[in-house]
Amino acid sequence: MSKYLKSLTIALAASCLTAPAMAEKLGLGRAALPAEIAAWDWDINAMGDGLPVGSGDVLDGEEIFAEKCAACHGDFAEGVDNWPKLAGGADTLDHEDPLKTVGSYWPHLTTVYDYIKRSMPYGNAGTLSDDEVYAIVAYILYSNDLIEEDFVLSNENFMEFEMPNAGGFIVDNRAETEYAIWSDEPCMTACKDSAAITMRALVLDVTPELDGNTATTAVSATAAPEPAPVPAAPTIDMELAAAGKKVFKKCKSCHQVGEKAKNRSGPVLNGIVGVAAGSVDGFKYSKALRAAAQDGLMWSEVELAAFLAKPKAYLKGTKMSFAGLRKEADQAAVIEYLKTFE
Amino acid sequence: MSNHTVKQPSRRAFLGGAAAIGAGVVTSAAAQAQAADPLIVNSQDWAQSFGDGVDAKPYGLPIEYEADVIRRNVEWLTADTVSSINFTPIHALDGTITPQGCAFERHHSGAIDLKKSDYRLMINGLVDTPLVFTYEDLGRFPRENHVYFCECAANTGMEWAGAQLNGAQFTHGMIHNMEYTGVPLRLLLQEAGYDTSGKWVFVEGADASSNGRSIPMEKALDDVLVAFKANGEALRKEHGYPVRLVVPGWEGNMWVKWIRRIEVTNEPVESREETSKYTDTLEDGTSRKWTWAMDAKSVVTSPSPQAPITHGQGPLVITGLAWSGNGAITRVDVSRDGGKTWETARLAKPGEKMALTRFYLDVDWDGSEMLLQSRAMDETGYVQPTKAQLREVRGLNSIYHNNCIQTWWVRENGEAENVEVS
């Protein structure tokens, strides 16, 4: 920190030249109301300050997790595709490829609570009740084999729990371990005998392709408008479709639509309304959906609405970990929105 | 990536014909036209008729011939684009100021749409009076202008284990450099009457991720800005419109966008972004936390894999960028032989604290292959380390804060590749 402090002093001295002087308060802004502070100030620090009163157990957590988290994080918190793995990785931190999960890496359990309450579920942040968050945190601990399945986590026992990697962190020590040895006058001539190539990026070949003749293709790429819904047929109710665009936010973390859409944890949904189920190229469907497709399932508006209402009840074994759209208006709106993508 | 993918029509025209391109070693004398240049001797449309009138584009974008100078992402890095990052096309820019439209983006929950009229900033915690400011309120505080770089802690993070991504945009493009206009955070804290015993401020954004970070009070009182303009105009949506935090020299994750709350506290929160992420795991499995400052670093932006030499031997401008989160850049050396010998480059301007510095080395290229490197030094005396030096201290798993010396292998035909050397 000594270097930081030194540059701080220099910066302060220099800033006297240009910084506006201000000794007194300007009387700007207004007092924040207690209700406003309560609405925004609910961070939970590592001491446990801010933990709300409540509790949740592993079994409830499992259910909530399956419904609200598993689409990305997997039923067992093992992570789907490139989405974060939340469990596993114990004792791997000094390995070649450490697996950093809540169980193997996170030093404070408070952080798990704070983050889930604040930012999850992805695309629908801040909608979990305090008890639901306790239950999910309990389930994640359980997935990491850190508690038994009958464990009930609450604000009472929360701070008693010590994370496995709690002692695994040190405060930045670059000043001692690096700055001291990398501050010599650098070598200018005869610094080494040889400089042979030991690794090449082109051999690894993981750089994105810069599309062919860049000049022309890139022009069309930037000139292309946002993949705005194009009416597929004159019968589309654009107002309803616009409402569906909002509902679709719930689907977006797994499904893409539009010109550049790609299969993610769910298939591309362009042109899905009215076509045979299980027909999106390159998507690995569940057994259940493949069977239904063989039996001739067509995604008519009626079938889609039924599926969207309660996916797991409609199609037992579907990969779609989504609780469902209970409101008929939401089902209709999102279907109308999907109709705008050919 | 083959040579032809990176050519630009403007350069093609300049060379006086596509034939000159890809010919590899062509002397500048040979490039001189034998026949009279039709671009000169023939009448051209643009010299005869009208161009666009004013207002053809009330807000202008770059001309279509520059359409490849854009942000790009690396799809396999992240699960989706909402929580992801892309890269500034530093290989195609010059000077130091990054235009907002091609400055890299990093979101944890997507770039939100927040109107100035809907904007509120709360200051609470250990203060005499918790306050709420509107956008208009912020505009009534005395404000300052500063140029600062913003670098993601993960910039160059894919290169720890070896040479991976073939282009300066991808290896070093998680950086931008803008002139910010804003209010020193110090003034806002004073307005609320902060408790001088408070050791930290916790800052969070209005988006769904909120991206909370704890910042030590001495930094908050020193040079942190609550900024609402960049390069003279409003921040772009993707950079936190209408208001973001600017934390000079420190990792980009702390520059909270759409900033909505600043809380004075005694303890750090130890949020997700300062424990599970943005911590640097060392070889023995322990991890450094609170590694806020971005150490001195540099890269040659041209020639580089996306910016090959197309003119053959003769005069060649080698150029790049250098920066340090610990102060001003004082010197940049360039090696053309993989670090055996070094020459001191020319700085376009004296280095400025926590801002990008442009360097040039004007050489007479003999057409032979080069292993190009650059090495920055800052006012603290720190010298940018090699990959080997970094690995010796940290191992391969740090992800963040990779400020190693980069090597481009420039071949006789002018093409360049990201390599590692012994």
Q: Where are the domains of chain A?
A: 42-160, 238-339
CA B204 and chain centroid, separation: 23
Asked if residue B378 lies in contact with residue B270, where contact means CB atoms within 8 angstroms, the answer is no
The helix/strand/coil state of A26 is: coil
Residue A33 burial (C-beta neighbours within 10 Å; 0-12, 13-18, 19+)? exposed
> For residue range B154-187, what is the model confidence (pLDDT) as tens digits?
999 999 999 999 999 999 999 999 999 999 999 9
Q: Are A42-160 and A238-339 equal in CATH topology?
A: yes
The radius of gyration of chain B from alpha carbons, rounded to an integer in Å, stands at 23
Tokens 């971005």 map to which residue?
A: B294
pLDDT, one tens digit per residue, over A167-224 is 999 999 999 999 999 999 999 999 999 999 999 998 878 888 765 433 333 333 333 3
Distance CA(B239)–CA(B234), nearest Å, equals 10
Residue B118 · residue B86 · CB < 8 Å: no
Q: Does B202 touch chain A (CB under 8 A)?
A: yes
Print the domain residue range for B205: 102-159+177-288
Q: Contact A22/B165, CB-based, under 8 Å?
A: no
Among A20-24, A131-135, B349-353, whose mean pLDDT is lowest? A20-24
Q: Which residues contact A70 (CB under 8 A, 6 or more apart)?
A: A80, A321
pLDDT of B266: 97
d(CA B307, CA B299): 13
Per-residue confidence (pLDDT) for residue A22, from 0 to 100? 53
Determine the pLDDT at residue B32.
Answer: 58
Burial of B185 (0-12, 13-18, 19+ CB in 10 A): buried
Cα–Cα distance for residue pair A140/B382, rounded to 1 Å:
43
CB contact under 8 Å between B275 and A212, yes or no, is no
CB–CB of B342 and A191 under 8 A? yes
Residue A7's closest CA among B248, B337, B270? B248
Measure the CA–CA gap between B56 and B63, rounded to whole angstroms: 13
The sheet with strand A197-200 has its strands ordered as A197-200, B416-421, B407-410, B370-378, B329-335, B343-344
pLDDT recorded at residue A145: 96
CA gap B422, B420 in Å, rounded: 7
Which among B68, B80, B338 has the least Cβ separation from residue A195? Answer: B338
Phi-psi region of A16 (alpha: psi -120 to 50; beta: other; left: phi over 0): alpha
Sorting pLDDT into bands at 50, 70 and 90, what band is A262?
confident
Query: How many Å apart are CA B358 and CA B339, to the nearest integer?
Result: 20
Asked if B32 has any chain A CB less than 8 Å from its own CB, the reply is no
Q: How far is B68 from chain A (nearest CA, A)?
A: 5
Predicted-complex ipTM score: 0.89
Q: In chain A, positions 82-101, which contact chain B (CB-CB < 8 Å)? A: 82-83, 93-94, 96-98, 100
Report the residue of chain A nearest B171, measured CA to CA: A207
| Per-residue pLDDT at A244 exceeds 70 | yes
Mean pLDDT of B381-398: 96
Tens digits of residue pLDDT in A31-80: 999 999 999 999 999 999 999 999 999 999 999 999 999 999 999 999 99
Task: Give the rounded percent of residues in chain A with a pLDDT score beyond 90.
Answer: 51
Question: What does the pLDDT read at residue B410?
Answer: 98
- The answer to whether residue B69 is domain-embedded is no
Task: Give the distance, in angstroms, between the CA of residue A13 and the centroid of all CA atoms in the same chain.
Answer: 43
Domain count, chain B: 1
B128 touching A, CB under 8 A?
A: no
Candidates 1.10.1040.10, 1.10.760.10, 1.20.210.10, 3.30.420.40; CATH matching A238-339:
1.10.760.10
pLDDT of residue A83 exceeding 60, the answer is yes
Query: Would you call A207 and B383 a contact, using CB atoms and an 8 Å cutoff?
Result: no
Name the A residues in 173-192 with CB < 8 Å from any B CB: 173-174, 177-179, 182-184, 186-192
User: Residue B314's beta-bridge partner residues?
Assistant: B365
CB contact under 8 A, B163 and A204: yes
Question: Domain with B121 in it: what CATH number?
Answer: 3.90.420.10
Q: Please state which CATH number belongs to domain A42-160.
A: 1.10.760.10
What does the H/E/C string look like for chain B? CCHHHHCCHHHHHHHCCHHHCCCCCCCHHHHCCCCCCHHHHCCCHHHHCCCCCCCCCCCCCCCHHHCCCCCEECHHHCCCCCCEEEECCHHHCCCCCCCHHHCCCEECCCCCCCCHHHCEEEEEECECCCEEEEHHHHCCCCCEEEEEEEECCCCCHHHCCCCCCCCHHHHHCCEEEEEEEEEEHHHHHHHHCECCCCCEEEEEECCCCCCCEEEEHHHHHHCCEEEEEECCEECCHHHCCCCEEECCCECHHHCCCCEEEEEEECCCCCCHHHHCCCCEECCCCCEEECCCECCCEEEEEECECCECCCCCCEEEEEEEEEECCCCCEEEEEEECECCCCCEECEECCCCCCCCCEEEEEEEEECCCCEEEEEEEEECCCCECCCHHHHHHHHCCCCCCCCCCCCEEEECCCCCEEEEEEC
Question: Which of B2, B3, B4, B5 to mutate: most A Cβ within 10 Å?
Answer: B5
What is the rounded distance in angstroms from the CA atom of residue B396 to the CA atom of residue A199?
Answer: 15
Chain B residues in contact with A172 (beta carbon < 8 A): 288-292
Q: Is the peptide bond before A20 cis (omega within 30 degrees of 0)?
A: no
Q: Min CA distance, A190 vs chain B (Å)? A: 5
pLDDT digits (tens, 9 = 90+) for A216-242: 333 333 333 333 343 344 478 888 888
- Percentage of the residues of chain B whose pLDDT score is greater than 90: 90
Is residue B133 a part of any domain in this protein?
A: yes
User: Are residues B291 and A196, on separate chains, in Cβ contact within 8 Å?
Assistant: no
Q: What is the pLDDT of residue A49?
A: 95
* C-beta of residue B79 within 8 angstroms of C-beta of residue A266: no
CB within 8 A of B282, min separation 6: which ones? Answer: B288, B393, B394, B395, B397, B398
Test A46 with B268 for CB contact under 8 angstroms.
yes
pLDDT on residue A328 = 86
Q: For residue A3, what are the contacts with CB-CB under 8 A and spacing of at least 6? A: A175, A179, B326, B380
DSSP run (H or E) holding A36: helix A34-40
Q: pLDDT tens for residues A293-317?
A: 888 888 888 888 888 988 878 888 7
**Amino acid symbol at A111:** T
Asked whether residue B358 is domain-assigned, the answer is no
**Residues of chain A numbered 3-62 and touching chain B (CB < 8 Å):** 3-4, 6-8, 10-12, 15, 18-20, 22, 25-26, 28-32, 36-37, 40-41, 43-47, 49
Confidence bin at A323 (pLDDT 50/70/90)? confident
Residue with tokens 């005069």: B315
